[in-house]
Amino acid sequence: MAQEARRAPNDIRPTLTDEKVLEFCKTGILTLEGVIPESTNRWVFDYLDQEDADPHQLVRDECFIDEVLLHPAVAGVIRSLLGAHFQLPEWMANHRLAGPVEAKYWHIDAGSNFERACNLLQVFYIPQANTAEMGPTLFLPGSHLVPIAREDIERFGNLAGQEMTAATAGSVFVTAYSIWHRQPPKADRSTRNLLKWVCWRTEQPVRDWMEDPNFDFGGADYTYTSDYFYGPARMWQSVPRVAEMFYWLSGKAEEFRMVGGAGWPYSSTDPGFQASSP
C-alpha cells in the first residue's frame, strides 16, 4: 500500500497579510532573500556535489524537512496561500548547471491551466549565491494569469518586466505553478544548484492568514502594471483576473461578481467611481 503523503504540522503560522496575498495574486511570485541559514546551505550544497547525489531523497531527509521545507519563513508563506495542513512535496528536482551553458526557452510547466485559483505552488531554493553570470532563473511576473500554449512562448527572448533571481545563498522563491520562466545563458564556470518542488492544498481556501480588520475588499487596488502584459494602455486587463484570484483565496469565490464596464472591480482603483463590493 502506498504511503500517505506527508502534510504540514498544525503549528505552522501564516506570515502573509491581506496586502501581501493580494501582491502575490498580482505577480505570482514572492521572494524570500537569504532566509535559509548558511549552515544548512553548506550541507545541502555538499550533498548535491556528491557524484551519486539524489535530490529526490531530500524530501525524506528529516534535517532538510525541518531546516528548509518547514523553515518558518518558507512554510509560513505556503501556509498563508495553501491553508493549514498543506501537502509536503513527494519529489525534488535539482536544475544543476556546471560550466557555461546556453539559454533555454521560456516555458510553463506541465499541467498549467491558468485558473483563478491557487491549489499548488512551486518553490525554488538556491543553496549558493547566484550572480547574473550563473544563469539564475528568469520569471515573468503577472504571467501566471495569462493563458498561453507552451509552444507559443518558446520563440521569445528577453521580455520587458522579466525578473532575474540573482540572490544571496539560502534564498527561496515561491511561485504560482503556471508562471512563465526560463534559464538565461550561464557564462561562468561555477556550479549552480537550483532545488525545485511543489506543495499542494488539502483544504478549501479560507482567509486565515494575518488578517487586517481594516482591509477593504471593495476598495482594494487590484491593478497590476506589467511592462510586458499590462502597460499603461492595457493594465486594466489585470483587474478582474487578480480580483477573482484574491476572492477565491479568501474563500469568497461565490461572492465575486463583476459589475461590468467601468464598474467594480475597476472602480476600486479610480477615485472618480464609487467602489462597492460584489
Instruction: Give the residue numbers spanning the domain of 179.
Output: 18-200
pLDDT recorded at residue 154: 79
Domain contains 55: yes
Domain contains 241: no
Domain contains 56: yes
Domain contains 73: yes
Residue 160 CB neighbours (<10 A): 10
Per-residue pLDDT tens over the stretch 34-45:
999 999 999 999
Per-residue pLDDT tens over the stretch 201-252:
999 999 999 999 999 999 999 988 766 554 444 455 688 899 999 999 999 9
Its sign, for the CA torsion 32, 33, 38, 44, is positive
Domain contains 146: yes
Domain contains 211: no
How many structural domains does the chain have? 1
Domain contains 190: yes
CATH at residue 194: 2.60.120.620
Q: For residue 248, what is its C-alpha cell?
A: 477565491
Q: Where are the beta strands (DSSP E) in 55-114?
A: 93-94, 97-98
Measured CA to CA, the distance from residue 25 to residue 99 in angstroms comes to 36
Domain contains 256: no
Q: For residue 112, what is its C-alpha cell?
A: 498549467
Per-residue pLDDT tens over the stretch 147-165:
777 777 877 888 878 899 9
> pLDDT tens per residue, the chain (278 residues)?
345 679 999 899 999 999 999 999 999 999 999 999 999 999 999 999 999 999 999 999 999 999 999 999 999 999 999 999 999 999 999 999 999 999 898 988 887 777 789 999 999 999 999 999 999 999 999 889 887 777 778 778 888 788 999 999 999 999 999 999 999 999 999 999 999 999 999 999 999 999 999 999 999 999 887 665 544 444 556 888 999 999 999 999 999 988 777 778 876 655 444 444 44
